[in-house]
Amino acid sequence: MTKILVDGGAVVNLMPYTMFHKLGKGLEDLLETDMMLKDFGGNASKTQGAVNVKLTIGSKTLPTTFFLIDGKGTYSLHLGRDWIHANCCIPLTIHQCLIQW
């Protein structure tokens, strides 16, 4: 992955469909969900489903659930508060780094 956004303001982890496809995943890997997400403009859209993947960052590997969105983004993955807390991380946005312990 080239770009991953760690967003302390996001509640869920997001994955664009293009990244899902690049990982070689198919529709059989999706879990059905009726999750609705709102963008910055307040427009609601339904997610395509959820997918569980093992994500390794640094020395930690944890199963992580991503909600699949149909859209192009600047980032390969969007990690939210659930991932930050599960990994005991402190994101330092001013220094653009992530501290794990």
Tens digit of each residue's pLDDT (9 = 90 or more) over 40-90: 677 788 889 999 999 888 777 889 999 998 877 788 899 998 888 888 888
Quote the pLDDT of residue 49: 92
Which phi-psi region, left, alpha or beta, contains residue 32 (left: φ > 0; alpha: ψ -120 to 50)?
A: beta
Predicted local confidence at residue 101, as pLDDT: 67
Closest C-alpha to 19, from 84, 77, 60 = 77
Of residues 34, 21, 9, the one with CA closest to residue 76: 21
Domain regions of the chain by residue span: 4-100
Give the domain 4-100 fold: Cathepsin D, subunit A; domain 1 (2.40.70)
Distance CA 28, CA 31 (A): 8
Average pLDDT on 18-45 reads 85
The pTM of this model reads 0.83
